[in-house]
Amino acid sequence: MESIFALVLAKANYVAYIILMMVGLYAMIVKNNLIKKIVGMTIFQTAVILFYVSIGCKRGATIPILEHHASPETAAHGAEKIVAHAMDAVNVTHYINPLPHVLMLTAIVVGVATLGVALALAIKVYNTYGTVEEDEINQQLRSG
Amino acid sequence: MTRHLPALIIVIPLLAALVTAGSGWINQKAPFRIAVAALLFSFICAVLMLIQVITTGIAMEYRMAGWAGPMGIVYIIDHLSALVLVIITAVSTLNLVAQKKNIISEFKDKAGAFNALYVLFTAGLIGMTATGDAFNLYVLLEIVSLSGYALIGLGNNRAPLATLNYLFLGTIGATFYLLGVGYLYIATGTLNMAELATIIPQNMGSGVILFAFIICLTGLFVKMALFPVHGWLPEAYSQSTSVSAGLIAPLTTKVTVYIMVRICMTVFTPEYTFGHLDVSGFIVLLAIVTIVFGSLSALAQKNVKKMLSYIIIAEVGYMVGGFFLGNRLGISGAILHIVNDAAMTLALFLAAGIFIWKTGGESRSDLKGLFAKMPFTMAGFVLAALSVVGVPPTCGFFSKWYLISGGIQAGNYLFVAALIFSSLVNAVLFFRLFEIAYFEPFTEGHGHGGGSHGNSHHYTGVLAIKEAPLDMLVPFLIASMTLIVLGLYSGTIVTNIIQFAIPTGVI
Amino acid sequence: MKILGKLTILLCGVLLMFFTMEFPDWGDPESPASTHLSPYFIQHTMEDTAVPNIVTSVLADYRGYDTMFETTVILTAGLACFLLLRIERKKVPHRYYRHEPTGVTLRMEGDKFPRNSEVFQRMDANWVPYDFIISRTCRLIIPFIQIFALYVVAHGHHSPGGGFQGGVLMGASVILFAISHSLRAAIKSFSEKTAALLSVTGVFIYAGTGALCLIFGEVFLNYSALAPLFGSDRVMARSHGILMVEIGVAVAVTAVMIWIYYNLSSAGKQDEGL
């Protein structure tokens, strides 16, 4: 029992993202309202973003901005001093992995763009059929 | 200058799309001309790159921002990419030039936005084909998807709902692909395709890589409308305008098949895909079901565009099944069919566009008597139909020949039977259309009003030939002639280009 | 149908969890993802680009090509919303205006406006009630939001920030103006044509910088080529090039956020929104 608990705790981020992804997929497949489906799609994409960001985590590390201090003499001498200060040996395990963050900046923007286009299409559907419930729309299509 | 061709082929359309979008607010005629010029330029770049790759025999590599992979993003143009690039740019340019009248009538005051989205769609496809980085492919896939949704969403009344369905399934497919890339990143730590190809053979037994493969492939199958996730395709393509259908139908599914070929052969090497894994049999079975289902559904349709959409589903089945047979003949057949199918689908949808413009209606019975009225158009349509059926010397025959030979060599007679069955069904389909068009008399003025664009073409005499206008007819005839040219040069294409696209390990 | 959906989801979830047993632990510094490629970025960002914020240097320099297409994605979304939704305004035959101090109602024919339109308020079916507290409070806050947005864009090199974040903040300030006052007032000060042209300009700055590097002889998006233009050495030219593209991204994201809001909130008619 403890081993299963320890296993789940060690892989907690994967469990979290799987649960979130299944919630999003459930909403997309089972719900009838188009807006709820769009929300489910957003949750589904957010789960993948959570997965990526959690890959880059390192225990005890800090954000990926190299530590540098702007003091009066560096400001006077310009950027070369900052470069020289920060180039003292950088400990890699001190900073988390920056690459998943970069990839997910792109993925978040893509998610927002898809959400915008989906909402525009939902507005058009509403203007045409007068409702956003899928079973009512199917009824109108079958009879009309 | 030729050193920078891999960057120019995508930068010039991107900049042109921006200028088009901006100029749409000032002038209504400029966007179309800028778009045509940019696409023509990309076509010339693609042909130049193909010639260079064939003559030198080595792939062109281009390091964006000056960093070598895996630190930066690298573009690699090898034989396969160059071939698909030529097809993408050619189809896109021909379609834009042929449908000028339709664009003006349907998108009167939004010409800037429409042409910009058109060029962005093509630029995204070009980038997807040329890239050598797995995550860059996802970003470009989303550009293609988003502009596709916008172009399709402006059809008739049922278009927004069909597009919304397409959006949900397309997002699921793209997100699954992203998840697969994430799993590969966890297992290997890199995103560069060439480097993945060196790391994966050392970790073949890993469950992570197996699952990454399954999820990537599932995402791609959703995007190329394989059975059972094909539900979005018929509605989306049949409810859109003829311009959008002529651009999106020939290209989206075929480039997705290209991505599948690239991932299975370049990233997961052929030893892994065909040797280590055992899913090929199951996938070929899925492809067979797709072929049978697509052909039978096409028989039941009365709407011409919907019938063509189901034929597209069956053709995707050919390509996926042929690829997963695993031998050199099958893979060559699949790659040759990417080229041929793009040309065939373009010709068919251009013909459907001309029919709809002429008669105003979309159903089968609207084709009555068109053989006598529009002989040139019908001649081109007959060529395209014969190519789909697989009659020599059109190109469809040669790709089917390679696929059938591959099936026989692999011992998969079910696949061969499905191919022959599908050819017979296609023959029945198209000869039924020919019968309606040839033998039934032309009834006057039976446009349904919804599709005819303003001026109707009532003729005065029964025997007067009223052809489509020249700027619609000439590109369509060029597309039909290309089918014969591709057919006659099939052998050259296979020996000079496709042979080098397949790694030497595959028999 | 619901039972089938629930069963499928449960099966998929269990299958996925079974496969994750092989993954590296959470927070493991020795996983392949953290040891293969990323140490290069962390160790070499200062000597290659002179930018301490590793995320910015990877985003705009090492993988700058991806970011260019990400900006194009958001532009595509703006164009798509415009293409799908925009309806031309119908020309109304006459309009009603009320003179604030006296309470007199005027009727103007055609498209004319009364002069000194500060004291005249337009009245029609889409008239929105005017809330004094909300509009005055937001009017106080908006300039600070905009200054903070500019700060975030400019400090992307040294602290968390950059083009996308600053652009969204700036766009949010204009959207706040549109919500607290009325959509018409926002369109009058920041018209749709401005938003569309600015969004295209933003992406053009990004792609144009890359093309400029091409003209100077290096590969596309290699900012070191711009060293003679900025008058500095090759490493600092990269830092300045990153700033240029971040500005382009900020302009594009601002304009597209506003454009999408205008089209979505008014369902294309752009007469009155939320």
Per-position DSSP letters for C40-89, written without gaps between them: HHHHHHHHHH--SBHHHHIIIIITHHHHHHHHHHHHHHHHHHHHHH--PP
Contact B206 C22 (CB under 8 A): yes
Contact B185 A44 (CB under 8 A): no
**pLDDT, greater one: A144 or A52:** A52
Residue in chain A lying closest to B183 (CA): A52
Point out the residue among A106, A114, A125 whose CB comes nearest to the CB of B161.
A125
Contact A37 B168 (CB under 8 A): yes
Amino acid in position B336: L
Tens digits of pLDDT across chain B (507 residues): 778 888 899 999 999 999 999 998 888 888 899 999 999 999 999 999 999 998 888 888 888 888 887 888 999 998 999 999 999 999 999 999 998 888 887 777 788 899 999 999 999 999 999 999 999 999 999 999 999 999 998 877 888 999 999 999 999 999 999 999 999 998 888 899 988 888 888 887 778 888 899 999 999 999 998 888 888 899 888 888 888 889 999 999 999 999 999 999 888 888 888 877 778 888 999 999 999 999 999 988 888 889 999 999 999 999 999 999 888 888 989 999 999 999 999 999 998 888 888 777 777 777 777 777 788 888 888 999 999 998 888 888 999 999 999 999 988 899 999 999 999 999 998 888 888 888 777 765 544 433 344 344 444 444 456 777 888 888 888 988 989 898 888 888 888 888 888 877 777
Q: Measured between CA atoms, how close is A120 to chain C, in angstroms?
A: 6
* Closest listed residue to residue C208, CA positions, set C219, C194, C227, C221: C221
Residues of chain C with C-beta less than 8 angstroms from the C-beta of A98? 38, 41-42, 54-55, 58
Residues of chain B with C-beta less than 8 angstroms from the C-beta of A45? 171, 175
Q: Measured between CA atoms, how close is C63 to chain A, in angstroms?
A: 9
What was the pLDDT predicted at B470? 82
DSSP of chain C, one letter per residue? -HHHHHHHHHHHHHHHHHHGGGSPPTT-TTSHHHHTTHHHHHHHHHHHH--SBHHHHIIIIITHHHHHHHHHHHHHHHHHHHHHH--PPPPPSEEEEEETTT--EEEEETT---SSTTSEEEESTT-----HHHHHHHHHHHHHHHHHHHHHHHGGGTSS--HHHHHHHHHHHHHHHHHHS-HHHHHHHS-HHHHHHHHHHHHHHHHHHHHHHHHTTS-TT-GGGGHHHHTS-HHHHHHHHHHHHHHHHHHHHHHHHHHHHHHHHTTT--S---
Residues of chain B with C-beta less than 8 angstroms from the C-beta of A51? 179, 182
- The pair of structure tokens assigned to A56 is 């880059």
Instruction: State which H helix or E strand residue A89 sits in.
Output: none
Q: What is the Cα–Cα distance from B242 to B102, expressed in whole angstroms?
A: 8
What was the pLDDT predicted at B211? 87
Residues of chain B with C-beta less than 8 angstroms from the C-beta of A34? 164
- The pair of structure tokens assigned to B156 is 């008739």
- Residue B133: strand, helix, or coil: strand
Phi first, then psi, for residue B435 (nearest 5°) are -65, -45
What was the pLDDT predicted at B423? 92
Contact A48 B178 (CB under 8 A): yes
Q: Measured between CA atoms, how close is C150 to chain B, in angstroms?
A: 25
Point out the residue among C35, C69, C193 whose CB comes nearest to the CB of B25.
C193
Phi first, then psi, for residue B76 (nearest 5°) are -125, 120
Residue in chain B lying closest to C88 (CA): B109
Q: Please give the interface size between B and C, counted as residue pairs whose CB atoms are below 8 Å apart.
A: 150
Instruction: State which H helix or E strand residue B439 sits in.
Output: helix B413-439
- The pair of structure tokens assigned to B233 is 């395709």
- The pair of structure tokens assigned to B351 is 């013909």
Q: Is B409 on the interface with A (CB under 8 A)?
A: no
Phi first, then psi, for residue A96 (nearest 5°) are -75, 170
Average pLDDT on C218-241 reads 87
What was the pLDDT predicted at C115? 67
Amino acid in position C157: H
Point out the residue among C29, C52, C77 whose CB comes nearest to the CB of A68.
C52
Q: What is the Cα–Cα distance from A78 to A85, expressed in whole angstroms?
A: 12
- The pair of structure tokens assigned to C233 is 């050495």
Q: What is the Cα–Cα distance from C253 to A18, expressed in whole angstroms?
A: 31
Contact B208 C23 (CB under 8 A): yes
Measured CA to CA in angstroms, residue B496 lies from A85, B262, C191, C251 at distances of 57, 19, 56, 48
CA C71 from chain center: how many Å? 9
pTM of the model: 0.91
What was the pLDDT predicted at B459? 44
Contact B182 A141 (CB under 8 A): no
Start-to-end CA distance of chain C, whole Å, equals 37
Neighbours of chain B (3+ CB pairs under 8 A): A, C
Point out the residue among A110, A124, A125 whose CB comes nearest to the CB of B139.
A110
pLDDT one-digit tens code per residue, A9-18: 888 888 899 9
Nearby residues of C81 by Cβ (< 8 Å), 6 or more positions away? A116, A117, A120, C259, C260, C263, C264
DSSP of B380-430, one letter per residue? HHHHHHHHHHT-TTSHHHHHHHHHHHHHHHHT-HHHHHHHHHHHHHHHHHH
Contact C80 A63 (CB under 8 A): no
Q: Is C118 on the interface with A (CB under 8 A)?
A: no
What was the pLDDT predicted at B463? 47
Q: Are the CB atoms for B390 and B423 separated by under 8 Å?
A: yes
Question: What residues pair up with C122 in beta bridges, in sequence order?
Answer: C97
Would you say residue C196 has pLDDT above 60?
yes
Residue in chain C lying closest to A123 (CA): C267
Contact A92 C28 (CB under 8 A): no
Neighbours of chain C (3+ CB pairs under 8 A): A, B
Contact A11 C20 (CB under 8 A): yes
What's the mean per-residue pLDDT of chain C? Answer: 86
What was the pLDDT predicted at C274? 61
Would you say residue C138 has pLDDT above 70?
yes
Mutate to test the interface with A, among B110, B138, B171 (most CBs of A within 10 A): B171
pLDDT one-digit tens code per residue, A68-103: 765 554 444 455 545 554 455 677 788 888 999 999
Q: What is the Cα–Cα distance from B311 to B338, expressed in whole angstroms?
A: 14
What was the pLDDT predicted at B392? 84
Residues of chain C with C-beta less than 8 angstroms from the C-beta of B143? 69, 72-73, 76
What was the pLDDT predicted at A67? 80
Phi first, then psi, for residue C122 (nearest 5°) are -75, 140
Q: Is C67 on the interface with B (CB under 8 A)?
A: no
Amino acid in position B163: T
Q: Are the CB atoms for A37 and A29 separated by under 8 Å?
A: no
Residues of chain C with C-beta less than 8 angstroms from the C-beta of A102? 55, 58-59, 63
- Residue B192: strand, helix, or coil: strand
* Closest listed residue to residue B333, CA positions, set B230, B415, B449, B244: B415
Q: Are the CB atoms for C23 and A11 separated by under 8 Å?
A: yes
Q: Are the CB atoms for B134 and B196 separated by under 8 Å?
A: yes
What was the pLDDT predicted at C117? 63
- Do strands B60-63 and B74-77 pair parallel, antiparallel, or not at all (unpaired)? antiparallel
Q: What is the Cα–Cα distance from A132 to C55, expressed in whole angstroms?
A: 41
Q: What is the Cα–Cα distance from B313 to B321, expressed in whole angstroms?
A: 12
Q: Measured between CA atoms, how close is B99 to chain C, in angstroms?
A: 18
Neighbours of chain A (3+ CB pairs under 8 A): B, C
Residue in chain C lying closest to A118 (CA): C81
Q: Are the CB atoms for B193 and B267 separated by under 8 Å?
A: yes
Question: What residues pair up with C98 in beta bridges, in sequence order?
Answer: C105, C121
Residues of chain B with C-beta less than 8 angstroms from the C-beta of A41? 168, 171
